[in-house]
Amino acid sequence: MGIKFRLTIMNFLQFFVWGSWLITIGAYWFQTKQWSGAEFGAIFSTMGISSLFMPAIAGIIADRWISAQKLYGFFHILGAIMLAIVPRVDNPSLLFWVMLVNMMFYMPTIALSITVAYAALKKKGLNVVTEYPPIRVWGTVGFIVAMWTVSLLHLETSAIQFYVASGASLVLGIYAFSLPDCPPAPATTGKRTFITALGLNAFTLFKNPKMALFFIFAMLLGASLQLTNMYGDTFLHDFKNIPAYKDLLAVKFPAIIMSISQISETLFILAIPFFLRRFGIKNVMLFSMVAWVLRFGLFGVGNPADGLWMIILSCIIYGMAFDFFNISGSLYVETQSDPSIRASAQGLFMMMTNGFGAFFGSYLSGIIIDKFYLLEDGSKDWSGIWFAFAGYSLVVAVLFAVLFKHKHVPEEVAVVKH
């Protein structure tokens, strides 16, 4: 079995685990358990909390003491145990802690999978820049297949979805020990402090007003990233309470509709180099912010019948909303940072978006929905919710367009092309 195929299996399972529950946990939470939005926001905040510190800690362990593929395997086996516990939890507060521990094991595996893949490809004398992307795209395929599996088996509101994720995580954890060895770096390569690993030295970038403003916007936009993952599936499920919609395919299989978002991601990634060369980094990031406005706004006016095209269009737009900021944003950090802190600067960018931004967005959205968008019968005012998210995104986009100054330099996209 060739190394590229083995890494393809790893990436497929890596995101199959996540896709088995990430989009559909909202349906399980609201439709089956009927717990509150504030508590659900706390559940999704576990991704942000764990992203603040666990990838860095895992990096230190893999760099100094344990081979990366072994640590990767251990984390997935431990994650499998936590996912198997989820169906037995009948208390939302306890589920928060179970999911927090689960995400503490899962989130570092994303970076570890990259480390293992790069090391294995280099050991075979392959070019990681050209060989890795076709391998990584199978991770998105795994996410989509997981969503379709859960949806077609009618597991979206069932606790069984967590057993599916647990089984895949256990298989991947065991499989990881068969991957090529990625040993710790020799002690003679130099010291790597905990402060450096966390990327805290990159906080000196905040002394530059332009970079400080960029990171603030990264956090503000990061708050939008998980909102449709949190609420999109259960939003479509709620239409079953309306007789005119309950038998429609989009209501019966909402995860399949939502998977169009992931399919769109794979297409917009290919378009990024053209947009960067033609419009520049600032405008591409601004396109992303406008896309978030459309993403939420179309959900606000769409429905599973004659408005299904709006929901599908929203899912297509998601690819631009998600990819254009994440990739162009990381490129901006690359071009604006001193070479000595570029790696930690990228860590800071991820900390602001997937850490602080995702945490505040997840946590506050649940509180806001419970306070302002619950109807008298206990149902949710979904149009109001999506329009509120769209309004927030519009404010962020306008402020970014006015306050963030950056001149387009075509040469700065060279890193994307190579």
Per-residue pLDDT of 271-296, as tens digits, reads 777 887 788 888 888 999 999 999 99
Worst-scoring range by mean pLDDT, 197-206, 243-252, 258-267? 197-206
pLDDT computed for residue 181 by the predictor: 85
CA-closest candidate to residue 234, choices 156, 318, 162, 148: 156
Per-residue pLDDT of 76-118, as tens digits, reads 999 999 999 999 999 988 999 999 999 999 988 887 887 788 7
pLDDT computed for residue 278 by the predictor: 84
Does 3 lie in the same domain as 28? yes
Does 144 lie in the same domain as 29? yes
pLDDT computed for residue 416 by the predictor: 42
Four-residue CA torsion sign, 59, 61, 65, 71: negative
Q: For every residue of the chain, which 3-state class applies, written as one string?
A: CCHHHHHHHHHHHHHHHHHCCCCCHHHHHHHHHCCCHHHHHHHHHHHHHHHCCHHHHHHHHHHHCCCHHHHHHHHHHHHHHHHHHHHHCCCHHHHHHHHHHHHHHHHHHHHHHHHHHHHHHHHCCCCHHHHHHHHHHHHHHHHHHHHHHHHHCCCCCCCHHHHHHHHHHHHHHHHHCCCCCCCCCCHHHCCCCHHHHCCHHHHHHHHCHHHHHHHHHHHHHHHHHCHHHHHHHHHHHHHHHCCCCCCCHHHHCHHHHHHHHHHHHHHHHHHHHHHHHHHCHHHHHHHHHHHHHHHHHHHHHCCCCCCHHHHHHHHHHHHHHHHHHHHHHHHHHHHHCCHHHHHHHHHHHHHHHHHHHHHHHHHHHHHHHHHHCECCCCCECHHHHHHHHHHHHHHHHHHHHHHCCCCCCHHHHHHHHC
CATH code for the domain of 339 = 1.20.1250.20
Does 182 lie in the same domain as 312? no
How far does Cα 222 stand from its chain's mean position?
10
Does 267 lie in the same domain as 344? yes
Query: Is 415's pLDDT higher than 60?
Result: no
Q: Which two tokens stand for residue 87?
A: 């169906």
Does 168 lie in the same domain as 215? no
Query: Is 377's pLDDT higher than 70?
Result: yes
Does 240 lie in the same domain as 144? no
Q: Which two tokens stand for residue 60?
A: 């230190």
- Whether pTM > 0.85 for this model: the answer is no
pLDDT computed for residue 418 by the predictor: 40
pLDDT computed for residue 142 by the predictor: 92
Overall number of domains in the chain: 2
Worst-scoring range by mean pLDDT, 152-161, 192-201, 376-385? 192-201
Query: Is 311's pLDDT higher than 50?
Result: yes
Does 183 lie in the same domain as 210? no
pLDDT computed for residue 188 by the predictor: 47
Confidence grade of residue 345 (pLDDT, cut at 50, 70, 90): low
Per-residue pLDDT of 44-85, as tens digits, reads 788 888 877 777 677 777 767 888 889 999 999 999 999 999
Does 52 lie in the same domain as 126? yes
pLDDT computed for residue 417 by the predictor: 43
- State which of 158, 176, 198 marks the end of a domain: 198
- State which of 165, 198, 231 marks the end of a domain: 198
Does 134 lie in the same domain as 104? yes
Is the CB of residue 18 less than 8 Å from the CB of residue 106? yes
Does 132 lie in the same domain as 233? no
pLDDT computed for residue 400 by the predictor: 93
pLDDT computed for residue 367 by the predictor: 86
- State which of 154, 178, 198 marks the end of a domain: 198
Does 209 lie in the same domain as 142? no
Per-residue pLDDT of 134-164, as tens digits, reads 887 788 889 989 988 998 898 888 999 999 9
Q: Which two tokens stand for residue 222?
A: 């990061």
Q: Give the domain range for residue 279.
A: 199-418
Worst-scoring range by mean pLDDT, 189-198, 258-267, 315-324, 368-377? 189-198
The larger pLDDT score, comparing residue 274 to residue 314, is at 314
Does 259 lie in the same domain as 361? yes
